[in-house]
Amino acid sequence: NTPTLVWQPPEENSYPLLFWIQIDNDYNFTEPYVLESGWVSGNSWTIPAENALSDGLYFWRVKTKDNAGNISADWSARWSFRVDTLPPATPQPLSPINGIWTDNTPVLRWTSVQENSLPVLYKVFLCSSSTFDPDFYEYYESPWITENYWSPPELQGETGDYYYWRVMAMDNAGNISENSATENFRIDRDSPTKVVLYSPENNAQVYYGTITFEWENATDLPGPPQPNSGIARYWIQIDNEPSFDNT
């Protein structure tokens, strides 16, 4: 709300030049104006703190006076800027949350936030402790990103370890939201065992139209007492080529 306005001085014989800046929330600059600078030197002017602008859209323009007292016949082109002092809404974690199991290369996702000052950027904090202390725990921090998802580096914890994460937002005016609520998940680094096929038997002749495929249940190592995520689903492929090269 106290921006610095910068312009390109014109060519002139009678130096030094002075400049007069007008700021208004009306495109046509109807009196009384929101703010006028008076004559200033240089090619920039910072709005004083006592004249800090309220949130909203503003227009500004500049006139020039040379050392002989001549004032430019026309104002500069009028430009606009928007003052925004309100932080964006706090993003909400979507996944993984509530201690759900993931592998050690999860993708963290959260809600996008609505905001006037676009683009909105996000920063994610991920740690093996809910304290988010980078000195004593495994800790990751994303750069400011535009996407509402982030893939951290491969996590180094063991199967069953918890990780904690939260996210904040920053709008284009530099306002930063609060951190989201902290969410957590567990990692499982270990692949399940190989499935053993049971029925139909290998090279069986099948004469009925509906075929039921059966297999021995897999296990998810390392198993008790070490926690693991367990078997969730199976994926079946059927082909007319033993190489499974066709679609």
User: Model confidence over 170-226: pLDDT tens digits?
Assistant: 999 999 999 999 999 999 988 888 999 999 999 998 887 788 999 999 888 765 566
Instruction: Please tell me the predicted confidence (pLDDT) of residue 224.
Output: 58
What per-residue string of b and e applies to 170-186 under the rule 16 or more CB within 10 Å gives b?
bbebeeebeebeebbbb
List strands edge to edge, sheet with 35-40.
35-40, 18-24, 56-65, 79-83
Instruction: Please tell me the predicted confidence (pLDDT) of residue 101.
Output: 94
Asked whether 214 and 199 are in contact (CB, 8 A), the reply is yes
Sign of CA dihedral 180, 186, 229, 225: negative
CA distance 57 to 79: 11
Place of tokens 């029925």: 199
What per-residue string of b and e applies to 86-123 under the rule 16 or more CB within 10 Å gives b?
ebbbbbebeebbeeebbebebebbbeebebebeebbbb
Instruction: Please tell me the predicted confidence (pLDDT) of residue 241.
Output: 87
Instruction: Please tell me the predicted confidence (pLDDT) of residue 85.
Output: 92
Strand locations in 91-246 (E): 93-95, 100-102, 108-110, 121-127, 139-141, 149-150, 162-170, 183-187, 197-199, 214-215
Q: Which helix (H) or strand (E) holds 115?
A: none
Please give the model's pTM, rounded to 2 decimal places.
0.74
The pairing of strands 162-170 and 93-95 is unpaired
Higher local confidence (pLDDT), 140 or 232: 140
CA distance 126 to 132: 7
